[in-house]
Structure 1
Amino acid sequence: MLVFVIPLKSPQVSRSWERVTKLFERCIKSVCNQTSPNFRVVVVCHEKPKIAFTHPHITYLKVNFPPANETNPVAQGNTDKGRKILKGLIYAERFYPTHTMAVDADDCVSKKLAEFVNRNSNSNGWFINRGYKYQEGSQYIYLKRSNFYKMCGTSNILRYDLNNIPEQAEYNRGYGYYKYYIDHEQVRNILKSNFNAIKPLPFAGAVYVLETGEHLFYDSKRLKFNIFNRRLLRKSIINEFGLYNLSSSVLTTF
């Protein structure tokens, strides 16, 4: 059983809650489009978004700790995200997961993930080495051939016990307490040093959506595209990742 954990920012700190909601609805549709029914989704939020999409495998877990503030937007935002991921991971235990995956609420994932995890349930887990970059509204998508996990938070699938969940979780701690859940690019090396190495996922596992206007950390280098990695956003990619144009409520092909 694979449990996806999606931390959703609060309306109070969103530049556009309407935009956040649209991005999240596309994300959750993508996550729930798995080819195997053996998955669950835990969405951790301050306020449940108003979307038309529903699915019996989704649980909305509302939190009551204060949302991030504008004192230090990146640090505060990461702390809020870390708190929500930890909360979701603890809640996920009731589903008896073999593995969990944190998913950023504006990204899309392959529909093959749950089926792959079910077939390899004894594995330590995987990091997404190969994935896609997508600039919102484009008719093209770009293949990131390696090191995808270093740029995108939707990148690690871990055996449940390797999440290093504390015996008594504390939610009033700062950024450092949650670094393991937030610093996605470090997880691979940490687990390797502890003799629990995870493997590269053998297929492109996620789409990192750029220029949403809601990222905590913006790095202009992530927008650099290699024309040799450019692909038309064809129906096969749209169907696998659920990546439709946000200006439309239906899948769009090019």
Structure 2
Amino acid sequence: MSAHDVVLGFVTSIRHPHNSTDYATVEAMLRESVTAWLGQTDPRFVIVVVSNRPVELPHDDRLHQVQVSFPPPSDTRSPRTGIAAVLRDKGTKNAVGLTRARELGAEYVMFVDADDFISRRLTAFVAAKGGAPGWTITDGWRVNVQRRAVRRHSDDFHLQCGSSHIVRADLLPPTTTGVTATQDELYDEQGELLERWLGSHMHLHDDLPLSYLPFPGALYRVGTSQSHSGNALGGAGRPITRAIAAEFGVSATGWTPWRLARAVLPSARAARERVRMLRPRDRD
């Protein structure tokens, strides 16, 4: 596939190994997600993964890894490093990934969190709508992979999940310093946009003339110990149907009473939290 054939570049970054309590799990989730991303119905895409060390991933010509030597953004030996550290590490790594995606000829770029899943229709949709500034995913799903449960998240999905914007590459900040740029060089080149657009997902829709994607575009993985947010399903789940499984490259819920109950009923953690909230508080 030549550079002129690349419609969409999926750019993702993986946290520094220092800021994890189980880096093998972080790599395994990335591997699971990337494998699903490769299932796009239109082959005119590339995937760029930026990390501090090589990750064992599927062998595919559309998959490109870039290693950086950036230091840990925080001394904390945990995924909960604080927002400043996340913006610096994710922002600079996404800047490197954006550079590589442009080198590969990507007309559009989507920054995808390393543990999320995306609709297999995205590349085909973008290819049919070429020239538009881009799209925001306001409607998606939360997914707990262990429970095989999903919950619809509408209207403000883009404010909760980092995998929520597709932007025409020429609208994003310049990346002339190349994939070997230092973090200081990237900040000098891109200024506040490095963190505002590449490190964060909170401002792109307000800052750029993006349209709403007309279908649920991503599955936001929750309920893992290695995520920065620590978010949960947020309510009652529902089984992962075969249609959802095929759309996003995840496993469907097994149709046994136990598996259905596990998908629909609150998790043990959620049940404990609800009991705690209902328990009368001691009065002075």
TM-score bracket, shorter-length normalisation: 0.7 to 0.9
Q: Which residue of 2 aligns with 1:19?
A: 25
* TM-superposed deviation, 1:167: 4.9
Q: Which residue of 2 aligns with 1:83?
A: 92
Q: Does the alignment pair 1:184 with 2:201?
A: yes
* TM-superposed deviation, 1:19: 0.8
Q: Distance in 2 between matches of 1:114 and 1:243?
A: 18
Residues 79-118 of structure 1: pairs in structure 2 closer than 5 A = 79-118=88-127
Q: Does the alignment pair 1:60 with 2:65?
A: yes
Q: Distance in 2 between matches of 1:8 and 1:132?
A: 22
**For the structure 1 residues 223 and 253, does the alpha-carbon distance in structure 2 shift closer, same or farther, using more than 3 Å as the test?**
closer
1:73 to 81, 84, 91: 81
* TM-superposed deviation, 1:236: 1.3
Task: Tell me if structure 1 keeps the 8 A contact 2:91–2:200.
Answer: no
1:235 to 233, 239, 242: 242
Q: Deviations over 1:168-193 (max 9, x none)?
A: 576124995422212212111111xx
* TM-superposed deviation, 1:69: 2.4
The farther-off stretch of 15-24 and 176-185 is: 176-185
Q: Distance in 2 between matches of 1:234 and 1:223?
A: 17
Percent identity, aligned pairs only, is 27
> TM-score scaled to structure 1, two decimals?
0.86
Q: Distance in 2 between matches of 1:16 and 1:214?
A: 7
Task: Tell me if structure 1 keeps the 8 A contact 2:86–2:199.
Answer: no
Aligned residue for 1:134, secondary structure, equals strand
* TM-superposed deviation, 1:65: 1.9
Q: Which residue of 2 aligns with 1:3?
A: 9
Q: Which residue of 2 aligns with 1:247?
A: none
* TM-superposed deviation, 1:73: 1.6
- Provide the aligned length of Structure 1 versus Structure 2: 237
**For the structure 1 residues 167 and 47, does the alpha-carbon distance in structure 2 shift closer, same or farther, using more than 3 Å as the test?**
closer
Q: Distance in 2 between matches of 1:206 and 1:92?
A: 20
Q: Distance in 2 between matches of 1:125 and 1:161?
A: 11
Q: Does the alignment pair 1:204 with 2:216?
A: yes
Q: Does the alignment pair 1:42 with 2:48?
A: yes
**Relative contact order, CA 8 A, sep 6+: which one is greater?**
1
Aligned residue for 2:114, secondary structure, equals coil
* TM-superposed deviation, 1:116: 0.7
> TM-score scaled to structure 2, two decimals?
0.77
Q: Deviations over 1:203-234 (max 9, x none)?
A: 11000010211222345xx5422x4xx43201
Q: Which residue of 2 aligns with 1:171?
A: 183
Q: Which residue of 1 aligns with 2:135?
A: 126
**For the structure 1 residues 41 and 11, does the alpha-carbon distance in structure 2 shift closer, same or farther, using more than 3 Å as the test?**
same
Q: What amino acid is the match of 1:15?
A: T
Unaligned runs of 5+ in 2: 1-6, 256-284
Unaligned runs of 5+ in 1: 192-196, 245-250
Task: List structure 1 runs of 4+ shifted beyond 6 angstroms.
Answer: none
* TM-superposed deviation, 1:36: 0.6
Structure with bigger gyration radius: 2
Q: Distance in 1 between matches of 2:122 and 2:66?
A: 23
Q: Which residue of 2 aligns with 1:224?
A: 234
CA RMSD of aligned residues (A): 2.2
Task: Tell me if structure 2 keeps the 8 A contact 1:153–1:182.
Answer: no
